[in-house]
Structure 1
Amino acid sequence: MPRRIASIDILRGLIMIVMALDHTRDYFHITGVTADPLDPATTTVGLYFTRWITHFCAPGFVFLSGLSAFLSAQKKTRQEAAVFLIKRGAWLVVAELTIVNLGLTFNPFFTFVILQVIWAIGWSMIILGLLSRYSFTLTLVIGLLLFFGHNAADYITFPQQGWTADLWRILLTASGTIIVLDEHHLVGAFYAILPWTGIMLLGYCTGYLYRHSFVAVKRKQLLLIAGSSLILLFVVLRLINHYGDPVPWQPQASALRQVFAFLNASKYPPSLDYACMTLGPLLIALALLEEVQSPWTRFVTVYGNVPFFYYILHFYLLHALLVIFFYLTGYNNSQIIDNNPFFFRQAHFGYTLPVVYAIWAAVVLALYYPCRWFGEYKRTHTQWWLRYI
């Protein structure tokens, strides 16, 4: 079994815990489906940073998936590692279309299929498998080109109609793209594949620093330098305001809202500004967490050991709670919205932020023992299917 790196599981655990906050807000906040929490003109400090802090989750999840892929490949041949990545990626794509979507929407008719982070990770893993089979250098070069260069697409005019337009959106430019399959079925393509692939490829190549022969002190120094450099690049790009994000930020009426606008980089698709803003601090965190061992790190590691298991369970638990609240607050079956991605989520239903935080904490704590049990089960069992969950 590949060795586990404590700092990776700690950081991944923190990511998984914070991620659940965003989804709790989607389901339970009063403006969860009616307002943009990042709109500088209308948001509040609490709402803005409740949403903004979760920006670190998807890039961290994807980056660490690539890093973990490198570590898991160390005891396999290059061919074996590539085949496993392709198979696991295909499984994740299928899981996104079925298991994840059912938990996310509770819509058994799949009238609205949402393509999100597991979809992007799945396809990125397939691409990683194909590239890593041939060359680490090729993987690094393609990763750098996608990471730093994909915003060149902001200056290209792509087809606007037909299947070619949909394909480009799915691959590169998706920003809440709705694809109509027929009069009863829609697809929401929210995670453009290739920008996330760039993040995964660089995560995989960062795994080189975690080889047994690599000096830990040097690894820490390189992570700190890389993380600080990405943060600096983010600031420079935002100040220049011409490349790195599809929508330049605009001056605001107050200093606080100026900060909101400056930090509001595009996640859909993930711009270079967004990737630098999030991965910079995450790389620094990876370096600083290497020597940290305490009760709180052991707590969050429980979630970091079983990220996919936790990811699936938290959606089903949150949505089950939403259904309970739906009926307890007086709604009935006739008010289920079949073209709503959340199915049971009413536009004007919801609670204030303190209630959202309380529900979030309850859900995270409720999943602690199931995650600890499954982590221990994975550690002590060797069935083939455990490698896919």
Structure 2
Amino acid sequence: MSIPSSSSRLQSIDLLRGIIMVIMAIDHVRVYSGLPAGGPEPGIFFTRWITHFCAPVFAFLAGSAAFFHGLKTTVRSLSRFLFTRGILLVILELTVVRLGWTFNLRLDLFMLAGILWMLGWSMMVMAFLVRLKPFTVGIIGLTVILVQDIFRRVPGLFSDSPQGIFARYWEFVYPSGSEGPGWIWVLYSIVPWVGVMAMGYGFGAIVNMDPARRKNLCLAVGLTAIALFVAVGSAMIALKPIGEDNRAFIFQLLDQRKYPASALFLCMTLGPVIGLIPAAEKAKGRFVNTLRMIGSVPLFYYLIHIPLHHLSAWVVNLLRNGRTGQEWYQTAPFSNVPPEFKWPLWCIYAVFAVNVILLYFACRWYATYKTTYTNQPWLRYV
């Protein structure tokens, strides 16, 4: 299916976003399989590792998409759109997404501050930052990423107790060792992710340059990030005490901190993608158009893919064990599948393949609907 685009630059955003949306499905199928998020086995390690690209690239491209949206409207209108869409994402996280994960209405069992929560609050912050110049916003974002550990120390300035109410709710901003609010699992803190989105907004100015200059800058930024990741990551491994970590070098290097995302984690994930932007702009073919189409309706994809995986887990469990296993998913994505009922790795990929095909047809319908009924304002939000 061909998706109209006013700019090849928008193609690169939709294409890369489509790729990561597809990859993301692997990890969310894994949630229902009961297999751990990574581990010593190469198969499950790399199954988890490849999905590490999803959150950073999605937040970064959300910032770039905001930049291009701003080219078509006023700063005031862009600010209002980001703030209202941010509120919508937070509400969807606490309602639709939560229900999709668990299929239950017991709020006391599970509540998650997941990726839509993080994106929503980051957009609300961006609603104020976009009043600045893109270069300034990008520098602010990079600074937040580099000095993020300063936020860990903030609760100590206001209270001696790590479990005081300020420290507990500060977990929404950045982990500081507190147990958190108690009524919600804080998976994604706002820092450093708001910095990633701000950096993506600033980077939009580079994507908007003439092709030759854009290519050179993308390659320079991407390769520099990769080089820093390899050099600094390798040095940190070399400085570890002997015997502290006996895993192979490659596993130690690729196992960077995601919660909250360290600067090395972001170099590892964003560097290759930034370097590939020029190639993504020139890519053609039916498969490319399919990924672009999925990338043009990311929120729709996200909202339906979780309940689809949940239903698929019921089917797999019925076929393998004669039971849906719903009791294991009351706190998904922290599922409690007993060891004897965990899926083999091949089963994850089989379900992933089937579900992506189903998601393709659903996204194709919705993308057609959006292009047909462009006069409906709510379609800008979903």
TM-score, normalized by the shorter chain, greater than 0.5: yes
Distance 2:177 2:260 in 1: 6
Report the CA distance shift for 1:222/1:137 in structure 2 as closer, same or farther (over 3 A).
closer
Residue of structure 1 equivalent to 2:16: 11
Matched residues in 2 for 1:171 and 1:365: separation?
37
Within the candidate set 160, 167, 175, 1:165 is matched to: 167
Aligned residue for 1:387?
380
Q: TM-score w.r.t. structure 2 length?
A: 0.88
- Name 1:306's counterpart in structure 2: 297
Contact kept? 1:113, 1:188, Cα under 8 Å: yes
| Counterpart-to-counterpart distance in 1, 2:242 and 2:14 | 35
CA deviations on 1:37-72 (whole Å, 9 max, x unpaired) are 24xxxx111111111010001101111111101111
Contact persistence 2:222–2:272 (CA under 8 A): yes
Distance in 2 (CA, whole Å) between partners of 1:325 and 1:273 is 37
What is the aligned counterpart of 2:251 among 255, 260, 271?
A: 260
Amino acid at match of 2:225: L
Cα distance in 2, alignment partners of residues 355 and 123 from structure 1 = 35
Q: Which among 113, 116, 119 is matched to residue 118 of structure 1? A: 116
Question: In the alignment, which residue of structure 1 is the partner of 2:233?
Answer: 238
TM-score by length of 1: 0.87
Partners in 1 of 2:5 and 2:256 — Cα distance? 36
Q: Is the 8 A contact 1:151 1:272 kept in 2?
A: no
Q: How far is the alpha carbon of 1:326 from its aligned partner? A: 4.2
Q: 1:22 aligns with which of 23, 27, 34?
A: 27
Name which of 275, 280, 298 aligns with 1:289.
280
| Cα distance in 1 for residues equivalent to 2:12 and 2:177 | 33
Match of 1:364 in 2: 356
Number of paired residues? 367
- Verify the 8 A CA contact 1:250 1:261 in the aligned structure 2: no
After TM superposition, give the deviation of residue 233 of structure 1 in Å: 1.3
Q: 1:6, 1:290 within 8 Å by CA — same for their partners in 2?
A: yes
User: What is the CA deviation profile of residues 76-135 of structure 1, one whole-angstrom value per residue up to 9, with x for unaligned ones?
Assistant: 111111111111111111111111111122222222111111111000001011111244
Residues 3-52 of structure 1, C-alpha deviation per residue, up to 9 Å, x if partnerless?
35212111111100000001111112xx52xx4524xxxx1111111110
Contact 2:26-2:352 within 8 A present in 1 as well = yes
In the alignment, the residues of structure 2 paired with residue 109 and residue 124 of structure 1 have an alpha-carbon distance, to the nearest angstrom, of 28
- 1:99 alignment partner in structure 2: 96
| Cα offset, 1:373, TM superposition | 1.3
1:92, 1:118 within 8 Å by CA — same for their partners in 2? Answer: yes
CA distance in 2: counterparts of 1:65 and 1:117, whole angstroms = 12
Residues 7 and 138 from structure 1, CA distance in 2 versus in 1: closer, same or farther, beyond 3 angstroms?
closer
Deviation at residue 179 of structure 1 after TM alignment: 3.5
Conserved 8 A contact 1:2-1:72: no
Cα distance between partner residues in 1 of 2:334 and 2:315: 13
CA RMSD of aligned residues (A): 2.7
Residue aligned with 1:290, SS: helix
Stretch of structure 1 that moved more, 44-53 or 101-110? 101-110
| Correspondence 1:75 to 2:77 | no
**Residues 372 and 208 from structure 1, CA distance in 2 versus in 1: closer, same or farther, beyond 3 angstroms?**
same
State the distance in 1 between where 2:199 and 2:313 align. 37
CA distance in 2, matches of 1:237, 1:280: 14
SS of match in other structure, 2:106: coil
Query: Do the aligned partners of 2:87 and 2:120 also contact (CA within 8 Å) in 1?
Result: yes
In the alignment, structure 2 segments of 5+ residues that lack a partner are none
Q: What secondary structure, in the 3-state scheme, does the structure 2 residue paired with 1:270 have? A: coil
- SS of the residue corresponding to residue 182 of structure 2 reads strand
Contact 1:86/1:129 (<8 A) preserved: yes
Tell me, yes or no, if the aligned pair for 1:124 and 1:200 is still in contact at 8 Å: yes
In 2: Cα distance, 1:80 partner to 1:180 partner: 37
Q: Is the 8 A contact 1:174 1:191 kept in 2?
A: no
- Give 5+ residue unaligned stretches, structure 1: 182-186
1:179 aligns with: 181
How far residue 352 of structure 1 moved from its aligned partner, in angstroms, is: 0.9
- Contact persistence 1:12–1:61 (CA under 8 A): yes
When structure 1 is superposed on structure 2, of 65-74 and 287-296 the one drifting more is 287-296
Letter in 1 for 2:261: P
Equivalent-residue separation in structure 2 for 1:78 and 1:155 (angstroms): 34
AA matched with 1:118: L
Q: Could you say what secondary structure the match of 2:32 adopts?
A: helix
Q: Does 1:215 align with 2:210?
A: yes
Distance 2:101 2:298 in 1: 16
Q: Give the C-alpha shift of residue 325 in structure 1.
A: 3.6
The amino acid across from 1:161 in the alignment is: Q
Contact 2:155 2:166 in 1 (8 A): no
